[in-house]
Structure 1
Amino acid sequence: MEFKTPKILILLCLNMLMVSAQELVPPIQNYSPAEYSGASQNWDISIDDRGIVYTANNQGLLVYDGFNWNLYPLESQSIIRSVYPFKGKIFTGSYKEFGYWEHMPEGCLNYISLSGLLKDLDLQNDEFWEITSYKDDIYFRSFGGVFRYSDNKIERIKEVVSTAFGIFQDKLIIAPRNKGLAYLDSEANINELPGDLSPILNMNIVDLEAIGEKLFIAGKEVLFVYENGELQKFWNEELNELLVKNELNHMEVISENELVLATIKNGIIHFDLSTDEFQVYNRTSGLQNNTVLGLKYAREKLWLALDKGVDMIDLKSPFKFYTNNSGELGAVYDLEIFQDDIYLASNTGVYQFKDGNLNLIENAEDHTWNLELIDEVLYANHNTGLFKIQGGSFIPIDNHTGSFTVKKMPEDDRLVIGHYTGISLYHPGTGELNELNTVNFPVKQIVFENPKTAWAAHPYEGIYRLDLSDLNNVKVDKIEPLADNANFNSRVYKVNNQIMAYVADRWFVYNSFKDSFEEFKELSAYHFNRLIHKNDRFVFVDSEDGSIVITDLDDKEIRITGEELNQRLVKSNENYIPINDSISLITLNDGFARINLNQLKRSKENVWISTPIIKELLDERIRYSIDDDLVIPYKHSRNISLKVGLPVSDAVDLEYALTGEDDLNGTVQDGSLNFQNLGHGDYHLTLKAIGSEPGQLTTASLDFSIAPPWYLSFWMKLLYGLIIIGIVYLLYWFNQQKLQKHQLQLEEKFEQEHTERLNRIEKERLMNEIDLKRKELANTTMMAAKKNEVLMEIQNELNKDKSRFSNQFRLKHIMNKINTAVKNKDEWKVFETNFNEVHEDFFKEVLDQYPKLTNKDLKLCSYLKMNLSSKEIAPLMGISVRGVEVHRYRLRKKMRLDSNVNLTKFLIKNF
């Protein structure tokens, strides 16, 4: 992107920024004692390779993982004076004690004392103030001696008492008390540095730092440089004067050209050796305290251990901030550079920023919307009207009502003023001021389509087109709403000779051929973003998350996150002021920011994203070792917590993804993850630290399992298997039994049916036999009846002609034979036998009920049973029909039957 700005403005701006440099500071992050839950005083600070911050605090070792601070006190509750991470261990020194902390798999630190390795050595009242490493050995320094830790052994270097350590030209430099400087060789022998060291022989050396061939030697009130065997006092007298006043305490190398000096009384001094310039950061700049007891630079960030709190300064940030901590300035709405000074429009008035001092312009109190520099005249749109700033005075132009905007008319010297009740025209040369009577609504924005056509934005009721052909009778056309019920806070712009409107979070462009607005598809990616268009820059602001996008709408884009601006934008009134291709200013709710875009682009391309740290995993009862195979009992898995860290880096987000029986994902907010009611099974947790640009990420992962519940354990599954096998066997057995029973039932049924069938056949056979016998009995009976009937007729005939027979004896003999034949007992026996076969037990049953019946009675009963009539019975009994009737009558009486009972039916039915 190429942005053009008048050269004179660039020079003025750069000059102004240099003048006010002491008030423009990089981002400073404060960590108060209440935030880290430790003591106020911090003596030393350091950072390991992962970016974890360690602080020597009065109450113990403070550890910061990017989310949370943790305090680890010593058992003796001693003050920790020094801290030094080295190869995964954190070495610390305190009163009569030194050792190291090691990271445990459970996520905590465990302290190992090394002072106990000293045999027969009294540490007296030693406090260990400094720790350093040299050729893989660790050196501890107290005011009573120097100790070396090597190969798990501790030894005291004899006759050495040093006030400072330093590494210079691959040598361990020490500062023996009242002896200047020396170095230790591999045999721990003391060797003096060459050259005249007399200026520092009796100086209390507090720190040593090397940059290339230069060794910087710090005393409390002076700084020396040792180079090529020569010792000289630091060359910058202004800096030396500051050191005398503020008491030098520590030093830290930033780069080959930068050195930071920590003081007791006035914060830190950031010195640039290449330019011989320095900047002081103290409480006025944003530090919590001016007493800096320790400092450490890592990953372009400077960490300070303060007498009260911990601070971090992002020294290499492309952002520099001016902050009005008093609150006098308020929220800044606009900013302009005019006549070598910076002027700020805020909700409390218009201010001049000069030589690092902020001054309210006289009579400029009250809300000021913006500033406009037109033809080298600075105008202010103020809550009471339009003013111009001249010679430090606030001169009214149009003060009958508040003013929103002022624009110069194309091809005309006059200015158009949009104010709370309409539009006025002002001629700067003559001072003539006229109001356009036809415009009687507030005008917050004005843009010109051409010299005769302007577009105006009402704060609440949409957009209007103004025909300026006749200024005495301006024609006003209200544009129909571009979106449903969406006129509030509409905005209008002129971009590349096109009229654009922003309405209801959507972009529209005016089509002059169709005389209507159409949705602007090219800006669809910037919905919900307000445009600040200055000097051909497209700057989109998202008021929701406080981010800013600077783009050419092609392939170049720079994004500034709300976090980079500390969420300090003035919501809905954001302003971006480009100074040149690289430098821009942004108004904030308590000051303003300066941005170096070239530096910002480089920083976004060369980010360092720290690797997420999974510190510990806890269930409802147990803290687990991260290094082990993690298996969590199901009964404790209803609430699983993980503590994670993301050491301070350029990451903008930490995302997590949990995959397994349940899938979850989201963003880590406070260093804690809580998973509730996870199902049993295997899980894989991935943490992803993400930068502001695509592809910038680091990851960490953890595998763990949730054991199945007791009722799904191996032994229970085995039991379930046995039970299932038992059930299957029982079902099989039961089925077999059922089959066998069914088979038996079938066999029994078959047998029964077979028996019944045989019985039925036998019965049918018997019935047939009985029917046959009955027929035979009937036939035999009928034949006997016929025979007797014939015999009786013959007998009757013989009796009629009895007198005609000569041989009466012979006749009588014949008659006897006929009687015998009629009353043949053998025939009766045969009949009785056949009758009993057909009607079994008939006679027995009759006699059981009627024992007084005679044989003749029984004979009659048998004939009646056969349903024979009296006429048919008479021959069989050898009597007359009348005799049968009489016999029946007598039988009825013997059987005591009523006259209305049919004797034949009675016998057939009951016997």
Structure 2
Amino acid sequence: MKVKITIIILLSLISSQLFAQELLPFVENYNKSDYKGDNQIWNVAQGNDDAMYFANNYYLLRYDGVKWEKYTLPNKTIIRSILVDGDRIYSGSYKEFGYWYRKKGKMLYVSLSDKTKVFEDSDNEEIWKIFKFKGKIYFQSFNGIFLYDGKAIKKEKFSFLISYCFVVDDQLLVASVENGIYKMNNSTFEKIQRWSILENNVIHAIGKFQNKTYIFTKKNGVYIDDKGVLSTWKNPLNTILKTANINAAAFIKNNKLVIGTASKGVYLFDLKTNSYKNINRNNVLMNNSILSMGLDKENDLWLGLDNGIAHVEVNSPISIFYDNSGVLGSVYSVATIDKGYLMASNHGIFKLEGNQFSIVPNTEGQAWNISKINNKYLIGHNEGTFVYEKGLFYKLSAVHGGWNVAKSSINNSYLQATYSGVIIYNDIDDLNQKKSIKGLVKPIKYVAQNRKNEIWAADNNRGLYRILYNDAYETTAIENVTQRSKISNDFGVKIFEFRNEILFLINKSWYTYNSITNQLEKDKLFNSNFKNISNIATIDENHFIVLQSGLLYHIYANANKFVWNVIQEKYYSGKIINDNLKIFKNKESYLLNLDDGFISLQLKQEKKQNTNIKIEAFSEDSLIHNKSRINYNSELKIHVISGKFGAAKPNLFYKTTNTSRFIPIKEGLIVLNNLSSGDHSVTIYGNDGLNYTTISNFQFIVAKPWYFSFWMISLYLIVISTILYLYYKWNKIRYVQKLEFRDEELKHQNKILEMELKAQNKLNIQEYEKHILELELQTKSSEVAGKSLSIAKQSEMIERIQGILDSESDFNKLKSDIKKAIKINAVNKHEWETFENNLNQIHNEFIVKLAKKYPNLTSKDIKLCIYLKMNLSSKEIAPMMNISFRGVELQRYRLRKKLNLNQEENLSKFLLNI
């Protein structure tokens, strides 16, 4: 994992509160877990493709700012040296040298020594340095050199042991270990006699600066040849270098000398001021042993360490103060003073002058804020307020917790937010003439004023207050504006002043105060430009800093347009103190507090030039060219390579075919997954703060899924055809079976039909017999009715004759004869029995229902019911029951009682419904 360390200090404890410390360039460290290689880095160079190359023991490392790659030689030997020449990366190893070139996103190796057999079996040589001189490539070992002119290789053997060769002023210098330094004259080597003092020295570097030749020895420091006179370097640093063992040295931009040592890290020497800075393990480097150095095209420094790689932004406008001792703590505010810096931290107030860093006595504890008012520094502290003026500190106030200071917009007074209210400083020349707002005892964190006798104050926890006071500084009203405006989530309110207007950041939305409605209203301009920011800090009238989604942006307000410039995240990643972001402007630099120090930035509004980038896309570890096809459901990694590693690294954005918003490109990598088949494009954009500009475009095609490929579709057709054929055959077999089954079914149905016909015939016969019986029953009913009528007539006749006879008393004999006749014609007992049986058969169902419903009925009652159901009158019923007419009526009355019928109900109809 990339170790991004911002910082730097030379920490040498002098006392418990005073020690050396300084601002240093930003440094990025890379360890083995980042590049997956070995420990030592023997050589560093930047290729024409802008990638950095490293000789890392058994590996050639390549880093393009996005991806680390590593390669090994065919013979697996240690790579000691590299040189970039055009598109070739030459490398030297044990009895091996050749060159690498890039093809299809991979580095390929071509051996030069193996083809020409330049090494003999008895040779025991390693190529420790490769350089170019007069159009030829030189591969140097400690015993000789191999010249390669692009066609053939020529070997030059030395009669002495050498350290390294150097090209200086178009001359080739060869430094021997024991005999001093030689210069190449045609094909011979001539000793430089005036440098005889360098005999028995290991020379690790020779360079020229301002017509002086600097010679860097391993153990005896630095020598300078000035106008032909060689002498030791008269600088205090030289004494240190003699014990540090110089391994590498180089002159770089801005009159600086870089010296890498074996035991004390790297020294950055300013040849103008004769001052230096030391970067080592005590402050930032992973170890103190510098094996190699190289510069990139930004003139920033790359260090090959005994264990790892360091990128030092020596020419970056960014510098950082970092305390890894823990003495400083988290910095809540920082400001420049005449000879250094003041820092307010959670451990107290600290002062940095030169490289001496100390805590101000009696200021231990939480310090919150430093505000510069004219030539005075007002410092808010947990224990009160301190003042720094002309190198002296004194305590101004015992009021606890000076969080922030704001200048009033109506006069020259200053307002201070404290743990217990607001303090007003009306006289800048006499800060002791301060006034406290009486009646306000609240922990106020932010404060502002743009009207007389009115103050805006944001509570440390929640709530925004409008405070009204009189000329005696007594509060006349305290209004909770967020509560009155019905803003429920009013935690952490921030007050921001912009062009004499006071704005309020509440729950990531911006509000202004409407004095007419006495309500907070959303501000259209800021909500449209700065929604969802989490923090904001003022720089000056037209500049401020915002924090959004973990990224810091420098904002330049040009009329009602805002130019956004993102500050690279690596400088402050994980070091921002939430809700305590502060910016201090110092000429062209801006100081930003961090949780372990502070950072110095140069935020210039310069029109950015078009960025040249290169795109390398990889799918399944294979390089994909523009408009190529990739497999379905495969991951696509797009490397957006700018060739910049330092402060000049552009901030880029991208859009895909399926996205509408601009997405930041982090660390130069775009990873696309779950892509649908079809055409896709990725467009890369730069941003000048206002507009997005198209820089590049990469197009690709996602193939159809394997199951939609030509062969799979062919297979599908074959399978479908086979299925259809089998279905046809199956249907045919099934049809034949169906016909056979139908024949069997017809036979079976015929049998069933025959059986049904037999059953139907049988049923018909039964129905016929039933019908015959019903006819017989109807006949019997007719007979019964006939008999009934006959009997009724006979009975009537007999009754009439009986009456006559009774009236004729004189005719005894006649009477006797008539009675005899009547007796002869009377209905016999057998006939009545037959009549009653037929009657019961006809009305059997009626009799059963009636007996079941009314069990208390007698047989005479049932017989009467049958007659009534037959709709016979009482007169007709009387002779059939052998009772009188009145007897029938009496019997009917009794029957109604038994059947529970009232007078209105008709007895015959009732019986018919049963």
Tell me the TM-score range normalised by the shorter chain: 0.5 to 0.7
Q: Contact 1:131–1:141 (CA<8 Å) still a contact in 2?
A: yes
1:166 aligned onto 2:171: no
CA distance in 2, matches of 1:102, 1:364: 61
5+ unaligned residues in a row in structure 1: which ranges? 1-18, 728-911
Please identify, of 338-347 and 410-419, the stretch whose mean Cα deviation from structure 2 is larger. 410-419
Q: Contact 1:545–1:562 (CA<8 Å) still a contact in 2?
A: no
1:561 to 567, 570, 577: 567
Q: How does 1:528-543 map to 2 (within 5 A)?
A: 528-529=532-533, 530-536=535-541, 538-543=543-548
1:451 Cα shift? 4.9
Q: Which residue is equivalent to 1:587?
A: 593
Q: Which residue is equivalent to 2:553?
A: 548
Q: 1:395 to 1:106 in 2, by over 3 A?
A: closer
CA distance in 2, matches of 1:537, 1:438: 36
Q: Which residue is equivalent to 2:737?
A: none
Q: 1:584 to 1:121 in 2, by over 3 A?
A: same
Q: Which residue is equivalent to 1:468?
A: 470
1:291 aligned onto 2:292: no
Q: How does 1:118-157 map to 2 (within 5 A)?
A: 118-119=117-118, 121-122=120-121, 124-157=123-156
Question: Which amino acid is the alignment partner of residue 165 of structure 2?
Answer: F
Q: Which residue is equivalent to 2:453?
A: 452
Q: How does 1:3-82 map to 2 (within 5 A)?
A: 23-82=22-81
CA distance in 2, matches of 1:430, 1:499: 25
1:665 Cα shift? 9.8
Q: 1:135 to 1:463 in 2, by over 3 A?
A: farther
Write out per-residue CA displacement over residues 55-107 of structure 1, whole angstroms, 9 at most, x where no aligned residue.
11233222223233233234544332112232222222222322223334363
Q: 1:256 to 1:157 in 2, by over 3 A?
A: farther
1:578 aligned onto 2:585: yes
Q: Which residue is equivalent to 2:479?
A: 477
CA distance in 2, matches of 1:182, 1:324: 47
Q: How does 1:392-403 map to 2 (within 5 A)?
A: 398-399=397-398, 401-403=400-402
CA distance in 2, matches of 1:173, 1:58: 27
Q: 1:463 to 1:91 in 2, by over 3 A?
A: same
1:511 Cα shift? 5.8
Question: Which amino acid is the alignment partner of residue 579 of structure 1?
Answer: N
1:25 Cα shift? 1.2
CA distance in 2, matches of 1:629, 1:716: 25
Write out per-residue CA displacement over residues 827-863 of structure 1, whole angstroms, 9 at most, x where no aligned residue.
xxxxxxxxxxxxxxxxxxxxxxxxxxxxxxxxxxxxx
Q: 1:223 to 1:189 in 2, by over 3 A?
A: same
Q: Contact 1:247–1:263 (CA<8 Å) still a contact in 2?
A: yes
2:684 to 682, 688, 693: 688
1:44 Cα shift? 1.3
Give 3-state SS (helix, strand or coil) of 1:156's partner. Answer: strand
1:638 aligned onto 2:633: yes
Write out per-residue CA displacement over residues 391-450 of structure 1, whole angstroms, 9 at most, x where no aligned residue.
999765554654434568899999865332334578997968876442132222233335
Q: 1:569 to 1:397 in 2, by over 3 A?
A: same
Q: Contact 1:236–1:276 (CA<8 Å) still a contact in 2?
A: no
Q: Which residue is equivalent to 1:741?
A: none
Q: Contact 1:414–1:425 (CA<8 Å) still a contact in 2?
A: yes
Q: 1:383 to 1:258 in 2, by over 3 A?
A: closer
Q: 1:134 to 1:691 in 2, by over 3 A?
A: farther
Q: Which residue is equivalent to 1:93?
A: 92
CA distance in 2, matches of 1:176, 1:390: 60
CA distance in 2, matches of 1:434, 1:470: 9
1:336 Cα shift? 3.1
Q: How does 1:579-728 map to 2 (within 5 A)?
A: 579-580=586-587, 582-598=588-604, 601=605, 605=608, 609-614=612-617, 616-618=618-620, 624=622, 637-642=632-637, 644=639, 646=641, 647-649=643-645, 650-652=648-650, 683=679, 686=682, 688=684, 690=686, 699=696, 701=698, 703=700, 706=703, 709=706, 712-713=709-710
Q: Contact 1:25–1:285 (CA<8 Å) still a contact in 2?
A: no
1:162 Cα shift? 4.2
CA distance in 1, matches of 2:361, 2:401: 18
Q: 1:695 to 1:611 in 2, by over 3 A?
A: farther
Q: 1:398 to 1:115 in 2, by over 3 A?
A: same
Q: Contact 1:439–1:474 (CA<8 Å) still a contact in 2?
A: no
Question: Which amino acid is the alignment partner of residue 168 of structure 2?
Answer: F
Q: Contact 2:611–2:650 (CA<8 Å) still a contact in 1?
A: no
Give % identity: 24
Q: 1:174 to 1:702 in 2, by over 3 A?
A: farther
Q: Contact 2:136–2:149 (CA<8 Å) still a contact in 1?
A: yes
CA distance in 2, matches of 1:704, 1:291: 49
CA distance in 2, matches of 1:659, 1:611: 20
Q: 1:169 to 1:664 in 2, by over 3 A?
A: same
Question: Which amino acid is the alignment partner of residue 638 of structure 1?
Answer: N
1:346 Cα shift? 1.5
Q: 1:35 to 1:410 in 2, by over 3 A?
A: closer
Q: 1:575 to 1:163 in 2, by over 3 A?
A: same
1:563 Cα shift? 1.3
Q: 1:119 to 1:329 in 2, by over 3 A?
A: closer
1:384 Cα shift? 3.7
Q: Rg larger in 1 or in 2?
A: 1
RMSD: 4.5
Q: Contact 2:638–2:671 (CA<8 Å) still a contact in 1?
A: no
CA distance in 2, matches of 1:33, 1:710: 42
Report the TM-score when normalising by structure 1: 0.66
Q: Contact 1:211–1:256 (CA<8 Å) still a contact in 2?
A: no
Q: How does 1:327-476 map to 2 (within 5 A)?
A: 327-338=326-337, 340=339, 342-374=341-373, 377-388=376-387, 398-399=397-398, 401-405=400-404, 418-423=417-422, 436-459=437-460, 460-476=462-478
1:208 to 206, 209, 224: 206
CA distance in 2, matches of 1:375, 1:625: 61
Q: 1:513 to 1:190 in 2, by over 3 A?
A: farther
Q: Which residue is equivalent to 2:175?
A: 175
Q: Which residue is equivalent to 2:530?
A: 526
5+ unaligned residues in a row in structure 2: which ranges? 1-17, 725-914
Report the TM-score when normalising by structure 2: 0.66
Q: 1:298 to 1:427 in 2, by over 3 A?
A: closer
CA distance in 2, matches of 1:405, 1:496: 19
CA distance in 2, matches of 1:240, 1:696: 51
1:263 to 261, 274, 277: 261
Q: 1:83 to 1:704 in 2, by over 3 A?
A: farther
CA distance in 1, matches of 2:309, 2:303: 6
Question: Which amino acid is the alignment partner of residue 545 of structure 2?
Answer: F
Q: Which residue is equivalent to 1:243?
A: 241
Q: 1:451 to 1:671 in 2, by over 3 A?
A: closer
Question: Which amino acid is the alignment partner of residue 232 of structure 1?
Answer: L
Question: Which amino acid is the alignment partner of residue 569 of structure 1?
Answer: I
Q: 1:305 to 1:474 in 2, by over 3 A?
A: same
Give 3-state SS (helix, strand or coil) of 2:328's partner. Answer: coil
Question: Which amino acid is the alignment partner of residue 164 of structure 1?
Answer: Y
Q: 1:321 to 1:471 in 2, by over 3 A?
A: same
Give 3-state SS (helix, strand or coil) of 2:357's partner. Answer: strand
Give 3-state SS (helix, strand or coil) of 2:360's partner. Answer: strand
